[in-house]
Amino acid sequence: MATKVVYFTVDGKPEQAEFRSDDTADELKDTFRAAAEANSDDILKLYNTKGNLINISPKLPENTPDTRYKLEVVALHCNGFPYYMMQIDNVLATQFGVVIKDLESRIEMLEKKVFVENGEIPPVVGELKHKVEHLREKLEGVDHLSWLGLFKDISCGTSLKPFWDKTQSIKKTEEHNRMVFEKFKKISQVQVTDEVREYLRKPTFDNWQWDDPEMIILLRQMYIDLDLVSKFNIEMNVLHQWLYEIYKNYNQVPFHNFKHCFMVAQMMYGLTWLIDLRSVLDDVDIFILLTSAICHDLDHPGYNNAYQINAKTELALRYNDISPLENHHCFVAFEILQKSHCNILRNVSKEDYKRIREGMIRCILATDMAKHNEILNNFKSVMKNFDFKSQEHKSLLLMILLKVADISNECRPMDVAEPWLECLLQEFFNQSDMEKLEGLPVAPFMDRDKVTKSSSQIGFIKFALLPLFEALRELFPVIEKDIIQPVRAALEYYTDMQKALEEEKKKGREAAKQRMDKDVIKSKIQT
């Protein structure tokens, strides 16, 4: 019986295989599997010298050592990670089309096979088709996926390069950062007008009118106008470098980006003046509040703790599922301060540094909403006889103030707050789409098929925002008019929106019922 020899590479290693022309395709595949040390359910892909995928069968034409085929193994599953995600690497544009086609043709074959045997297509095949279609849409439009894997080590012993690619993530590009820094340096010589400095202290401040370099200047202004630059001997160029490092370490995600950092800092700044916090807190506490607000979401990936934990990302692993994101934000904040040229703490005393570090860690970790009720209850318990001399009472107050600033969008004018809700829901929907694709649990308030703006806000305002703000009002009644009233107005706005939505649905149901009744009557008349 004639035998054939084919030459190929696997993982860059030269191999050759000999087989008989009456061998079956599977036997030939097993030979290739053995050469690639792949297991039985891995997918094999053979490319000819032109880079085209070719079928593995005994009809495979013989070749020579210098026209080798290239064999690739696609691990079907690895750490529960579906193989199509393994395929996505920096040659995404060339490969993923093949992977999706691979998937679609396999489903086609499966559909035919099942139809022939059972005379029908079971729903599961239809669902699989839908999922692959959805995946194609997601991947074709995706620009956040590669970030997803930045904290997910998926190499797990396969020959495939990890699919994420650090240049292709939600990180800002070098030229984008340089352009922002150039404009920032240019305008940093300009004095901010008194009118803008006044406006900057108001909860009505509208961030949508300002670009990133301008917001960096306004953050600098906050340190100047709170006398923190002088009190902590911060050299101006160090402050500039620190603000620029902060800017670079916020990512291009829909909600938890540099604008959110600015908004939380601006709300903290506004509360400082509205309540006159400097009359009850010392400079170190004021510094902790503003600096924690600026640092509190550093390097946020746009996927929350539940995702990090369920998807077993590197962050969840590193922080043992304990507030992985907030721990990471805090780590990045102090990693930046390790660099002398942007260390705004480099001239503070050892004891001030210790207080500042302790205060920032406590405040940033307190922004984990999973700790919301625990922190609020602790604060309420000390509220009864709050002692501004007690360090424990004051540190609870600082945590509450940062939490208030962090989730306070709804106390802003509707045309400032509503776009923020859209950004938030966009980020939540990106996450829940990905969770559906990966078969991970999906939180109802993130599911695009379940959430409406009004439904998400009514519950949130009633059960998270108002209880928090009303607790703070016990200590500082001055926040009633400028902070709490606008939130009540927002609650009314979303309640009315919800009622209108329900009316619509009711009308829709009634119209459908009338149509049905008419059809029934018509059919009765015809029979």
Choose between 7 and 445: whose C-beta lies nearer to ligand LUO: 445
The answer to whether residues 436 and 442 touch, using CB atoms and an 8 Å cutoff, is: yes
77-78 and 53-54 beta bridge pairing? unpaired
Choose between 169 and 367: whose C-beta lies nearer to Zn ion: 367
| Helices and strands (H and E) in the chain: how many | 23, 7
Catalytic residue among 144, 240, 256, 328: 256
For 77, the 3-state DSSP assignment is strand
Q: Does 336 bind ligand LUO (CB under 6 A)?
A: no
State which of residues 409, 430, 431, 432 lies at the interface with ligand LUO (CB under 6 A): 409
Nearest Cα neighbor of 250 from 208, 304, 212, 306 is 212
Query: Shortest Cβ distance from residue 491 to Zn ion (Å)?
Result: 21
CA gyration radius for the chain? 30
Choose between 319 and 420: whose C-beta lies nearer to ligand LUO: 420
Of the candidate spans 232-240, 287-295, 397-405, 454-462, the one that interacts with ligand LUO by CB under 6 A turns out to be: 454-462
In the chain, the amino acid numbered 190 is: V
Per partner kind, with CB cut-offs from 5 to 8 A, the member of ligand LUO, Zn ion, none near residue 440 is: none
Q: Does 268 bind ligand LUO (CB under 6 A)?
A: no
In the chain, the amino acid numbered 286 is: I
Q: Would you tell me how many other CB atoms lie within 10 Å of the CB of residue 295?
A: 24
Per partner kind, with CB cut-offs from 5 to 8 A, the member of ligand LUO, Zn ion, none near residue 445 is: ligand LUO
Structure tokens belonging to residue 129: 């088709």
Query: Shortest Cβ distance from residue 482 to ligand LUO (Å)?
Result: 18
Query: Shortest Cβ distance from residue 243 to ligand LUO (Å)?
Result: 24
Q: Does 326 bind ligand LUO (CB under 6 A)?
A: no
Structure tokens belonging to residue 471: 């607790």
Of the candidate spans 121-129, 219-227, 451-459, 468-476, the one that interacts with ligand LUO by CB under 6 A turns out to be: 451-459
Nearest Cα neighbor of 381 from 362, 361, 396, 401 is 396
Is 240 a catalytic site residue? no
Query: Shortest Cβ distance from residue 409 to ligand LUO (Å)?
Result: 5
State which of residues 19, 386, 445, 476 lies at the interface with ligand LUO (CB under 6 A): 445
Q: Does 218 bind ligand LUO (CB under 6 A)?
A: no
The answer to whether residues 19 and 31 touch, using CB atoms and an 8 Å cutoff, is: yes
Distance CA 162, CA 314 (A): 14
State which of residues 170, 288, 424, 483 lies at the interface with ligand LUO (CB under 6 A): 424
Query: Shortest Cβ distance from residue 407 to ligand LUO (Å)?
Result: 4
DSSP state of 166: G
The answer to whether residues 255 and 420 touch, using CB atoms and an 8 Å cutoff, is: yes
Query: Shortest Cβ distance from residue 490 to ligand LUO (Å)?
Result: 9
How many angstroms separate the Cα of 68 from the Cα of each of 33, 55, 485, 521? 17, 15, 74, 74
3-10 and 69-74 beta bridge pairing? parallel
Q: Annotated catalytic sites, by residue?
A: 256
- Contact set with ligand LUO (CB under 6 A): 369, 372, 407, 409-410, 421, 424, 445, 456-457, 459-460, 464
